[in-house]
Amino acid sequence: MKTMFLLATIALAGTVGLGQTSSPAIDQVEEDWQLVIASPDPVDVGPQITTCMSPVSDGSTPFFALDMNYRDYPSYYSGGLEAAVISNSNGSVQDYSTQGDEVLGTANETITWTQRMSLSGGTATYIVVNGQSTTWGSFGQDDGLGPVRFTTSVTSLASYSPDTSVAKSGVGWQSNRVSRMTLVRVRYYSGGQLVSTDTTSRSVNLSIASN
């Protein structure tokens, strides 16, 4: 069984940000995701999915990871969800939160959620909201999956890139059991006010995942 935080030790690098450099400064980004499970394998706990989200696109800070259908810290557990802060320098876990232990087992299940990253007072925070699934029901901050955080000198999300999120997300185990994994839209905020919405649909390349 292959279990790990997908790409936890690989630097988030090489993708240019979207140029959110002009006023107002962007301090919060929301990503809407959709995942379609074709034929899960409850016996071998597949598939196992991870999304990644970072304040920067050059790998200079830790990043956030959301593991689905497994939890990898402080040791491996089947099923459930885990949000974590991962160091880019050595892959260590700096903060984490978990919810549930149910294993994916429903064919053609569609899972949707929003992951929100924000900056305030030298702290980067990540939460999951509005999660909906057959396996876990409602999931996210209001259902027990608490926020994870790290301190940072980054003062805006000008270097955030949705393309980095998509490139570093994927299915680390049994990717053939996933029909689609898509970043549906991205919203940018400043001081709590919506600044812009990117409705470009970005699909994760499932063929590069490790099985």
Q: Is the dihedral of CA 17, 7, 75, 98 positive or negative?
A: positive
In a domain, 8, yes or no: no
Strand partners, 151: 123
Domain encompassing residue 192: 28-202
Q: What is the pLDDT of residue 24?
A: 86
Q: Based on the structure, what is the number of domains in the chain?
A: 1
In a domain, 145, yes or no: yes
CATH number at residue 136: 2.60.120
Taking all residues of the chain, what is their mean pLDDT, rounded to a whole number?
90
pLDDT in tens, 23-80: 689 999 999 999 999 999 999 999 999 999 999 999 999 999 999 999 999 999 999 9
* Whether pLDDT at 205 is above 60: yes
User: Taking the model in full, what pTM does it have?
Assistant: 0.88
In a domain, 171, yes or no: yes
In a domain, 197, yes or no: yes
In a domain, 107, yes or no: yes
Count Cα atoms within 13 angstroms, Cβ side, for 89: 3
Contact 48, 209 (CB under 8 A): no
In a domain, 129, yes or no: yes
Contacts of 182 (CB under 8 A, 6+ apart): 33, 34, 35, 201, 202, 203, 204
pLDDT band with cut points at 50, 70 and 90 for residue 19: very low
In a domain, 15, yes or no: no
Q: Which amino acid is at 138?
A: S
- For 80, the token pair is 């459930």
* Whether pLDDT at 153 is above 50: yes
